[in-house]
Amino acid sequence: MKLSTLLVAASFSIAGFAAAPVDSGTHFAADALKPFVENGQLPGAVSVFYQNGKQEVACVGYADVAAKRPITIDDVYMQCSQTKGFCGVTAAILVEEGKLNLDDPVSKYLPEFRTLWIEKSNKDGVRTLVKAKNTLTVRMVLNHTGGFSFELPDFHAMGGWSRRMPLRSVAVMAAALPIRFEPGTRQSYSNVGIDIGAAVVEKISGKRWEAFLKERVLDPLGMKDSTFWPTEAQLAKQVQMYTCHKGRPATWTSCDASMQRPYSDDRVFSSAGAGLWTTVCDQLKFYKMLMNLGVGENGVRILKEETVKSILAVSTRPKGLGGYSLGLSAPESDNENAWFGHGGAWGTNCMVNWHKKQLKLWAVQLRGGPRPWDGAREKAANEFFKTTLDTSAEKAYTGRMK
């Protein structure tokens, strides 16, 4: 590479560089969560609040209660549906490069989607199908308006989100099944749709989706611990899963049928809808990139500002169908108080506001309920940001299973 090119690249990167955050000196989250850790209802959690250069990090309780191993920002955990945002970013990269139009028919890349059938009724074991009139687009599969079910039939038998088949096979199976409604006319949360979007990315890039993700997002941002195949060393630092109970301590759970062991052998394939493991340290790098409109804290630009603003930070759905962009919960219309991000099945969540340079992250591995600390955590966030937060999007996709 020529010196002039290197200098241009360096200046482009440095221009978006954000200095390392300063410790806020506050302890709002730790103080709010302490009673729930002490009574055993909350085994362990990491909370991060960030606002315009100042950051509060609270690591409370344990990653492994039995071993008394304190939870840290470097412990790996299943982020589940937060994986969807990573798929959205890979699609946005291709849009930015002129290789993908969100309104392209999915069948342009995956011909099996050329003809789709809608299930109109299912009575006494007899299904009535009609041919779909609307064209299924890439936009639709990435914003949950494509008409697909939450998961494939017998998905637990396929390992759940520890997929036992490639993304392309998921797409082929999905295309052979009837959809729920005319594409683009309603919304229905679907891991299958996101996997189809990832299969489109594979077709355009000529690479496996997880390889494209690593090359264009994870490695440039320095997300060294984010993977679909956690190593034994990483699993030794896993945040263990617990089931919540009313009025008594949470209990350890080996695994959930939706994310089955084994986690890291050659039977596991990537799931763009819910399969990526990560750490708080890595998760912050990804969401701060979104908060900074495409630039990581290390100064590396992943996307242009306008790309983030136009197709990630604001809804890509038709009006009246709720806010959702490309794999991310987002407002229907942008404003200075608008947050976007995503949650995951085991309670994880991260939301950002690019206008005010604000971020709130929550990392746990919990099943069931109730979760009485949520109110205390929200109050702690309000104290940190000194404003009333709109948490509707956060609640919509945290703990979501379908």
The three state secondary structure string of 303-363 is CCHHHHHHHCCCCCCCCCCCCCCCCCECCCCCCCCCCEEEECCCCCEEEEECCCCEEEEEE
Q: Please state, as a whole number, how many other Cβ atoms lie within 10 Å of the Cβ of residue 81.
A: 29
Q: In which element (H, E) is residue 120 found? A: strand 117-123
Question: Are the beta carbons of 318 and 102 closer than 8 angstroms?
Answer: no
The pLDDT score that the predictor gives to residue 232 is 94
The pLDDT score that the predictor gives to residue 326 is 98
The pLDDT score that the predictor gives to residue 128 is 93
The pLDDT score that the predictor gives to residue 11 is 32
The pLDDT score that the predictor gives to residue 277 is 96
Question: Are the beta carbons of 80 and 344 closer than 8 angstroms?
Answer: yes
* Structural domains of the chain, with CATH: 20-82+211-397 (3.40.710.10), 89-205 (3.40.710.10)
Q: In which element (H, E) is residue 123 found? A: strand 117-123
The pLDDT score that the predictor gives to residue 144 is 98
Collapsing DSSP to helix, strand or coil, 178 comes out as coil
The pLDDT score that the predictor gives to residue 4 is 33
Segments of the chain with pLDDT less than 50:
1-16, 388-389
Is residue 123 packed enough to be buried (19+ CB in 10 Å), middle (13-18) or exposed (0-12)? exposed
pLDDT, tens only, 235-274: 999 999 999 999 999 999 998 877 777 777 777 889 999 9
Q: Please state, as a whole number, how many other Cβ atoms lie within 10 Å of the Cβ of residue 319.
A: 8
Dihedral in degrees, nearest 10, Cα atoms 184, 188, 190, 195: 0
